[in-house]
Amino acid sequence: MANSKLKTTKQKPAAKAKKTKKVKSVLVNSENLLDAVFHTADIGIAIVNTDGKVIKANDGYCSLFGYGCGELIGKPWFKVIAPSDRKAVKLAHAKIAHGEKLRHERKAIRKDGKLIDIYLTNTLLKNADGTQYIIKTVRDITESTKYKNLLHQAERITKLGAFEFDFHTNDMIWTDELFEICEMEKKATVNLSEVIKYYKTEYVDEIALAVNDARNKGKRFVGEWEFVTPHNNTKWLRVTGDPILTKSKTVELIGTVQDITEKKLAELEIERLTWVAKHTNSAVVISNPHGKIEWVNTSFEKLTGYKLKEIIGVHPGDFLQGTRTDKETVKRVGERLRNHLPSTGEVLLNYNKQGEPIWISSDIAPIFKNGKLINFVGIMTDLTDVMQAKEIKEQQEVLLQKQQMFKAISKYFPNGIIGIVNPDLRYVFVGGTELKKLGLNHHEMIGDKIFDNIHPESNEYAEPFLKRAFTGEKISFELTISGKIYLVTAVPVNAKVAPVNQVLIVIQNITESKKSQEELMNALQKQKELNELKSKFVSIASHEFRTPLSTILSSSFLVGKYNKPEDDERKEKHLERIKNSVNNLTDILNDFLSVGKIEEGGIKNRPGLFNVRSFFSELQEEMQGYLKPGQQIIYSHKGKSEMVYLDRQHFKNVHINLLSNAIKYSEENKTIHLTSLFDNHTLRVKVRDEGIGIPEADQKHLFETFFRANNVSNIQGTGMGLHIVKKYLDIMGGSIEFTSAENQGSTFTTSYPQTIITDNMGS
């Protein structure tokens, strides 16, 4: 027993020493690990005693401030703080030593004197022996501070603040700028119901409904509401709210608040002025600094025939000016407006929507706000009656002499009408034996257009020909009216004097002589065309109908064989082939029908005003379904004007055909380039492909009916597409050109005469 005790007593010191050694080893390893973490951390860490001196600093801390290892040990820690902030950090250090937790942003100074922005955290550490230390972590936030300041500056410039509202906690956070906009003291949180009370009573229900819809329906809102600040200042605020959803439930609402008081007051002022302008008898037009219309009153609409919705965003001169508008006056007015000077008392010949001349006296004034041009306001007075009376009086003196001469001629002019017209194509004199046959009185026709009393629809057809006579040409063309054929000849009265002010019109009834000749020629031509059409139709039908009909026949037979459920996929494949073949046959028949309608004269030209850029953007989207894999259509527009006056449907038919050809005759992964361009009073549209091209020998026959180039025999088609395109262009008064080389693609360019839009305000 004694020996046992002695043995146990001897073992205790050894075991204790072994255990101590193990603990020391673990402690050393832990200290080494902590030291490694301390020095490899990517933020600055310093241990400071309660006197403010650095006990230990990691490599990140020293590197951040540009000091070497050990340079800061034993030094006051605020040595790295900018002098302007040292007093504040000393006070903060004392508070931290008494247990307060502080985090703040400060200005610091590196060893090289460079100022940086830092984010500073402080943690109080107490040892078992009662000693205290403060662990300070430092991050360089110079870049983020710079962007934060820029953002704040942008908010101040735009008077735009932001907010965030938590529906669960009802906490609301505002940016600094929002506090300034609402003239409220800055707080950590803001109560939503308290803020709503500052809005004017008539908007409170609307705001509450918007917030409820955002919360319950996830609905975004935008509103403009009046707000009365705590300082009793009334402001207009534009508020947006975007719900943030988690699992289909709205948890937050974030948004912006912008002070739009100045803009709103300006709008209200304009609204009041608009009311006055709307009810005045003078025509009033308001345009933006670029001269494009923003508003016109009812008197303007009555005077010109144009509604606001038709002309908003357009220069007045683009649709009011015409062939007889004095270009020098337009130039003079434009120069004054470009120099931001008023233009007063200018009298200019314009044209209303019906093409009738109207004389307008205009006063145009630039409107400035804070030294910046914001609008032009034009007031127009109708002087048409005064100017026409003056013009008629001057013309009467000249016509009196001429009428004596023409009177004798016209009285006995056989089988026709003879007259003189002015540049508006209205009679200033008319006579002839045909008038009596038509039951017309020559006195009542003075001032009317040529065919007003005979066949008004013919005026539109005859106008382009007769306008050429006013350029000095001698013009002849034929018209059929009520079954009678007339030869119309137009000759300038005095072609040597420019401009030509009068044209002699001779209208002869050539019905009898023309009838027999035309009947014979028509019979021969129709028989020839019929024979050619039959021959070509049989040829095309035998070739183009054979493939789809064979496909339909074979697929129909195979569909009947697939009766098992596992054959459904094959059956669907053959049904799709039948559908595609039927569509091909439909396209072929539609081409035949289109040619037939055009040849019979069943298609008329009905032009209207539309935006060519918007038109082609829509057409580009519409053609996506026809593209082969990898193909794309790239569209661009060049020129100052975008408005055109054409038959929109005919225009669409032309370019669907051209784009379809470009897609059909181009391989996969190729690009079709579509470009519209206003140039020299003409709209030009180019369709360029990277396809197989057209052999040079075939190019002269390209627009003939049923013609197909030699290199497209393996591609389905009727050969009528370009023929149809040419016919539609003829109806619209357009033209087409093309360039092509085999295996290098083709470019088709269509051209349409247009009135180019000017930059002047006009009148």
284 burial (CB, 10 Å; 0-12 / 13-18 / 19+) is: buried
250 phi, psi to nearest 5 deg = -75, 120
Q: Which helix (H) or strand (E) holds 505?
A: strand 503-509
Could you tell me if residue 672 is inside a domain?
yes
Are 281 and 369 part of one and the same domain? yes
Could you tell me if residue 97 is inside a domain?
yes
Q: Could you tell me which of 198, 157, 156 has the C-alpha nearest to residue 177? A: 156
Reduced to 3 states (helix: H, G, I; strand: E, B; else coil), residue 185 is coil
- The DSSP annotation for 335-357 comes to HHHHTT--EEEEEEEEE-TTS-E
Are 355 and 438 part of one and the same domain? no
Distance CA 458, CA 463 (A): 8
Are 672 and 743 part of one and the same domain? yes
Distance CA 406, CA 399 (A): 10
498: left (phi over 0), alpha (psi -120 to 50) or beta: beta
Q: Which sign, positive or negative, has the C-alpha torsion 442, 448, 451, 454?
A: negative
Q: Is the pLDDT of residue 101 over 90?
A: no
For residues 610 and 737, the answer to whether their CB atoms sit within 8 Å is no
Residue 440's identity, in one-letter code, is: L
Among 303-307, 378-382, 490-494, 561-565, top mean pLDDT goes to 303-307
What pLDDT is recorded for position 408?
Answer: 60
Could you tell me if residue 14 is inside a domain?
no
Among 354-368, 432-446, 715-729, top mean pLDDT goes to 354-368
Q: Is the pLDDT of residue 559 over 80?
A: no
Are 221 and 281 part of one and the same domain? no
What are the tokens at 391? 């013009």
Write down which residue in 347, 382, 417 finishes a domain: 382
Could you tell me if residue 153 is inside a domain?
yes
Could you tell me if residue 577 is inside a domain?
no
CA 487 to chain centre: 49
Compare 386 and 374 and report the one with higher pLDDT: 374
Specify the range with the lowest mean pLDDT, choosing from 217-221, 238-242, 313-317, 477-481.
Answer: 477-481
For strands 671-678 and 632-638, give the pairing: parallel
For residues 666 and 691, the answer to whether their CB atoms sit within 8 Å is yes
The tally of domains found in the chain comes to: 5
The CATH number of residue 745's host domain is 3.30.565.10
Specify the range with the lowest mean pLDDT, choosing from 256-260, 346-350, 367-371.
Answer: 367-371
Are 155 and 136 part of one and the same domain? no
Distance CA 454, CA 23 (A): 123
What are the tokens at 714? 């393996």
The CATH number of residue 394's host domain is 3.30.450.20
What are the tokens at 140? 């360089």
Could you tell me if residue 645 is inside a domain?
yes
For residues 707 and 718, the answer to whether their CB atoms sit within 8 Å is no
Write down which residue in 140, 170, 196 finishes a domain: 140
Write down which residue in 466, 489, 509 finishes a domain: 509
Are 370 and 274 part of one and the same domain? yes
Distance CA 368, CA 377 (A): 11
Specify the range with the lowest mean pLDDT, choosing from 233-237, 501-505, 749-753.
Answer: 501-505
For residues 227 and 199, the answer to whether their CB atoms sit within 8 Å is yes
Global pTM reads: 0.31
Give the side-chain half-sphere CA count within 13 A for 369. Answer: 12
Are 281 and 249 part of one and the same domain? no
Specify the range with the lowest mean pLDDT, choosing from 22-26, 36-40, 753-757.
Answer: 22-26
Are 742 and 610 part of one and the same domain? yes
Are 684 and 645 part of one and the same domain? yes
Peptide bond between residue 13 and the one before it cis (omega within 30 degrees of 0): no
Are 617 and 738 part of one and the same domain? yes
Distance CA 76, CA 69 (A): 16
Are 618 and 746 part of one and the same domain? yes
What pLDDT is recorded for position 600?
Answer: 61
| 179 CB-near residues (< 8 Å, 6+ apart) | 161, 185, 186, 187
Distance CA 108, CA 316 (A): 62
Could you tell me if residue 94 is inside a domain?
yes
Reduced to 3 states (helix: H, G, I; strand: E, B; else coil), residue 394 is helix
342 phi, psi to nearest 5 deg = -70, 155
Per-residue pLDDT of 457-485, as tens digits, reads 888 888 888 888 888 888 888 888 877 88
Enclosing domain of residue 477: 388-509
Are 51 and 181 part of one and the same domain? no
Q: How many CB atoms lie within 10 A of CB 444?
A: 10
Could you tell me if residue 21 is inside a domain?
no
